[in-house]
Amino acid sequence: MLDRTRSADVVDIQGFLNAHPFSPFQWLIFALCFTIVLLDGFDTAAIGFIAPSLVREWGVARPALAPVLSAALLGLAAGALLAGPIADRVGRKRVLTGAVILFGAACLWSSFSATLTELTVLRFVTGLGLGAAMPNAVTLMSEYCPDKRRATLTNAMFCGFPLGAALGGFVAAWMIPHWGWRSVLMAGGIVPLLLALLMLLLLPESVRFMVAKGATPARIRAALARIARTALDARAFVLTEPVPDPAKEEPGNVQANQASGLGLVLSRPYLLGTVMLWLSYFMGLVIFYALINWMPLLLKDAGFPPQTAALVASLFPLGGVGAVLFGWLMDRYNANLVIACGFAATALSIFAIGQVPRDVVFLGSVIFLAGITMNTAQSSLPALAAAYYPTRGRATGVAWMMGIGRFGGIAGSFLVAELARRQWGFTGTFAAVALAGVVATIALLVKLRAQRKVALMPTATTTAAH
């Protein structure tokens, strides 16, 4: 739909996306971004599946694998922090394609590693690419979505990550007995490199980014015409978004805000919401890694047999499929409240794990419920961040939330170790981890107030015309 306040040959970008059915071209973008996220999950989880083979083949002690297992996590944080601001300057497609090439090449190279040190370095480089890919896939997808389906489609795309991680387990179980652990890393490298070729040929740049950066109308017209041919009649394209009021900015921030995505993300109107997004994502990963890494041991110490503890704990990461439902709810109700309710339910269910009787079926049900609420709420945050920031700061906003949040994974592992040292016990440990869910809930409620203030800001129109 053309903006009725403009002439018929001037197209408002978001109005155009809202007015037309979701096209095969947009489904192609979804498929490419979904595959990127799926491969991200595969390559992130691959090292865990090959770890037992490394112990056997190289004769290393299990503690010696810690640097290899954590190197990618550090790379993920660094890659996200670096890639977001770059993508807001040079474009989503360039950074996204480069990230896929980087993690594919590094994963392929790591299949030839001869030492643990070499593998550790290459896992860090792989993490750089993985960390850059995820937030830019979220950003690009969100910028081709109509308003009423943005969260649903973005969350559906994000489901590729747990599916990729699960696929890694099946692939490793099949490939390692036949061709050894190196074949898993080789597959994790070759497939992304082939995907990068398709991305170079088929993946478009974000139309919102092109307008924001003053690209020629011919480029924008060519992209939008693949959604609906009516775009060929347009001579100009406009993008209308909220902008910070320079009169309310601190003098030192005005120029930075205008020059960079990070300046906008940290500008006064967005700062409180930014910090609350960081805090929510950080606390979500505190919960995730605390329970993923420690729950089997906690259950074993509580008196469950090791096999039962491992089986029951494995129910926790299976809940990410609920993200599609949350996306549907976010598109119809206040997204901040939807995710806040998810984290509140997470806090209650995790607290309940420490309180329930030692019945395996009942305990497994509570753990599965905790996994659904936690994983669903966490995987919905990138869509929330993408909707919060305007185009010129969106990639930075999403990427920095995910990059800062990665340190929550490290904190979660250390938290449970410290609680064990202080002998908090089964009940106390789960109560402490549940507090992270309470903090995330409060942070999202605070962000809701901040977002209401952003909605009241004046808007500015960017035009791309002959």
Distance of alpha carbon 350 from alpha carbon 367, whole angstroms = 7
Helix (H) or strand (E) holding 277: helix 268-301
Band of the pLDDT at 465, cuts 50, 70, 90?
low
Percent of the chain with pLDDT over 90: 36
Is residue 252 pLDDT above 60, yes or no? no
Residue type, 377: A
Mean pLDDT of the chain: 84
Given a contact cutoff of 8 angstroms between Cβ atoms, the answer to whether 130 and 44 are in contact is yes
Name the β-bridge partners of 12.
238
pLDDT tens figures, 423-449: 888 888 889 999 999 999 999 999 998
Topology at the third CATH level for domain 262-455: Growth Hormone; Chain: A; (1.20.1250)
Helix (H) or strand (E) holding 79: helix 66-90
Band of the pLDDT at 249, cuts 50, 70, 90?
very low
pLDDT tens figures, 13-47: 888 999 999 999 999 999 999 999 999 888 877 77
Report helix angle 24-58 to 66-90, nearest 10.
160
What's the confidence (pLDDT) of residue 319?
A: 62
Contacts with 40 (C-beta within 8 Å, 6 or more apart), sequence order? 103, 130, 133, 134, 137, 160, 161, 164
SS (HEC) of 179-233: HCCHHHHHHHHHHHHHHHHHHHHHCCCCHHHHHHCCCCHHHHHHHHHCCCHHHHH
Topology match between the domains 12-211 and 262-455: yes
Higher pLDDT: 367 or 242? It is 367
Mean pLDDT, rounded, for 189-207: 94
Domain boundaries along the sequence of the chain: 12-211, 262-455
What's the token pair of residue 305?
A: 């047999």
Band of the pLDDT at 162, cuts 50, 70, 90?
confident
Is residue 321 pLDDT above 80, yes or no? no
pLDDT tens figures, 414-429: 888 788 788 888 888 8
CATH architecture of the region 12-211: Up-down Bundle (1.20)
Given a contact cutoff of 8 angstroms between Cβ atoms, the answer to whether 95 and 83 are in contact is yes
